[in-house]
């Protein structure tokens, strides 16, 4: 069976935790990430710092920590390679991959360990948004977290559950070992957390930890009102088609690592992806009319189906349907802030 998850330590047992800090040219943030990892109030831990061929002084930052961290220096091959290298060195029962521009709260690991129980393969938690300078921006992400037997819906319907981004996840190492190493791709060396988040749920139960955020997600590009998409990728629009390509790689990887019992169906419309693709089609068009045609083609084929199939109340679905229509037909100067509000939580 696909859900043949490894059983972790009994509830209440102290578990060793490995925090793998993945870094590339973020020397200005790296010390804060390492400090947040080393100062966790869970005593049985190790901190592994993987530097993916940085050229900005990051290695000097790492060396300053001496024996407090396990340093891994490698050539630049991307985030997927960094995850693989860090996991190879990890000795913990639980693994957290921490982006070097993010940080964990001091009690994060204690809350994580408390949430694990037999059958749990991933614990997830919210992250507060902070600016490049570390100032709190207000909202925490994601707005909603889905827990439970989410892997069953992924296998049956190709439904991606609502998860925290990379730094907001802790994985049971024995289950993750069945999935590693992550699949490399010369055209897309990032998005490692996509594979761990959606691969691990096929092996057991996902649980939420903490009543509030347990860490911080740093947003580098919050100032520009022209940025509709969320995240730190350069430019106002991320490439939504990349997510569909990752899902196809996920299908291939899952079948190769776990067998056909865990085979995934073709991707189903997912609002978290479709809203970005929809906004990109409308606001990247050269004219209002071209944007109207591009968005109008996506509205019935993918956006509305993704809204109808999402978890949530009918009121939420009705509201998002109204949002999609308004973004499409409003003048672009009026529709862009509305699109940004839904697509980019850092703008709220």
Could you report the per-residue pLDDT of 98-133, keeping only the tens digit for each? 999 999 999 999 999 999 999 999 999 999 999 999
For β-strands 205-208 and 120-124, DSSP reports them as parallel
Q: What are the tens digits of pLDDT across the range 290-319?
A: 999 999 999 999 999 999 988 778 999 999
- Token pair belonging to 110: 């204690």
Measure the CA–CA gap between 344 and 348, rounded to whole angstroms: 8
The pLDDT, as a whole number, for residue 71 is: 98
Q: Which phi and psi (to 5°) does residue 81 adopt?
A: -65, -40
With cut-offs at 50, 70 and 90, classify the pLDDT of residue 220.
confident
Identify the sign of the CA torsion 259, 262, 265, 271: negative
Is residue 134 within 8 A of residue 161, CB to CB? The reply is no
Res 3 pLDDT > 70: no
| Alpha carbons 90 and 48: distance in angstroms, whole number | 7
Q: Label residue 5 by pLDDT band (50, 70, 90).
A: very low
What does DSSP assign to residue 180? P
Pair 67, 179: CB distance under 8 Å: no
pLDDT digits 0-9 by tens, 236-274: 445 656 788 899 999 999 999 999 888 999 888 889 889
In angstroms, how far is CA 147 from the centroid of its own chain?
15
pLDDT score of 29: 97
Judge whether residue 10 has pLDDT over 50: no
Question: Which class is 17-218 in CATH?
Answer: alpha beta
Q: With a cut of 60, say whether residue 37 has pLDDT above it.
A: yes
- Residue closest to 108 by CA, chosen among 194, 32, 216, 31: 216
Structure tokens given for 332:
């672009």
Phi and psi torsions of 286, nearest 5°: -75, -20
Find the mean pLDDT for residues 323-332. Answer: 96
Q: What is the chain's mean pLDDT, rounded?
A: 90
| pLDDT tens string 159-199 | 899 999 999 999 999 999 999 999 888 888 889 999 999 99
**DSSP secondary structure, 244-308, as one string:** HHHHHHHHHHHHHHH-GGG--PSPPP-HHHHHHHHHHHHHTSSSHHHHHHHHHHHIIIIIHHHHH
Q: Give the pLDDT confidence score for residue 174 in this predicted structure.
A: 96
Q: 143 vs 58, which has greater pLDDT?
A: 58
d(CA 24, CA 19): 16
Which residues, 6+ apart, have CB-to-CB distance to 233 below 8 Å? none
Q: Do the beta carbons of residue 166 and residue 217 sit within 8 Å? A: no
Is the pLDDT reported for residue 235 higher than 70?
no
Query: What tokens does 165 get?
Result: 């981004």
Contact yes or no for 289/329 (Cβ under 8 A): no
Q: What percent of the chain has pLDDT over 90?
A: 73
How long is the chain? 348
The answer to whether the predicted template modeling score (pTM) of the entire model surpasses 0.95 is no
Check residues 3 and 82 and name the one with the higher pLDDT. 82
Start-end of CATH 3.90.550.10 domains in the chain: 17-218
Contact 169, 122 (CB under 8 A): yes
Which tens digit of pLDDT belongs to each residue from 38-59? 999 999 999 999 999 999 999 9
């Amino acid at each position: 069976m696909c859900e043949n998850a490894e059983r972790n330590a009994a509830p209440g047992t102290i578990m060793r935790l490995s925090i793998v800090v993945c870094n590339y040219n973020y020397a200005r943030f790296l010390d804060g990430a390492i400090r947040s990892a080393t100062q966790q109030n869970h005593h049985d831990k190790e901190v592994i710092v993987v530097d993916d061929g940085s050229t900005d002084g990051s290695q000097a930052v790492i060396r300053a920590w001496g024996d407090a961290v396990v340093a891994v220096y490698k050539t630049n091959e991307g985030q997927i390679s960094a995850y693989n290298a860090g996991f190879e060195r990890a000795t913990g029962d639980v693994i957290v991959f921490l982006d070097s521009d993010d940080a964990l709260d001091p009690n994060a690991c204690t809350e994580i360990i408390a949430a694990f129980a037999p059958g749990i393969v991933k614990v997830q938690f919210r992250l507060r948004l902070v600016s490049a300078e570390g100032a709190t921006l207000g909202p925490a992400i994601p707005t909603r977290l889905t827990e439970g037997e989410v892997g069953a819906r992924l296998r049956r319907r190709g439904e991606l559950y609502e998860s925290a981004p990379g730094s907001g996840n802790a994985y049971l190492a024995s289950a993750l070992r069945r999935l590693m190493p992550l699949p490399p791709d010369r055209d897309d060396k990032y998005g490692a957390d996509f594979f761990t988040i959606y691969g691990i749920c096929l092996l057991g139960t996902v649980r939420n930890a903490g009543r509030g955020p347990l860490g911080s997600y740093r947003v580098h590009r919050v100032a520009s009102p022209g940025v509709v998409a969320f995240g730190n990728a350069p430019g106002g629009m991320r490439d939504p088609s990349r997510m569909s390509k990752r899902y196809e790689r996920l299908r291939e990887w899952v079948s190769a690592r776990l067998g056909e019992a865990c085979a995934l169906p073709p991707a189903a419309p997912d609002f978290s992806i479709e809203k970005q693709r929809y906004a990109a089609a409308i606001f990247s068009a050269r004219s209002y009319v071209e944007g109207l045609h591009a968005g109008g083609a996506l509205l019935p084929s993918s956006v509305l189906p993704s809204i109808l199939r999402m978890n949530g109340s009918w009121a939420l679905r009705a509201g998002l349907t109204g949002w999609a229509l308004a973004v499409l037909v409003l003048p672009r100067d009026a529709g862009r802030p509305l699109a940004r509000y839904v697509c980019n939580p850092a703008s709220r």
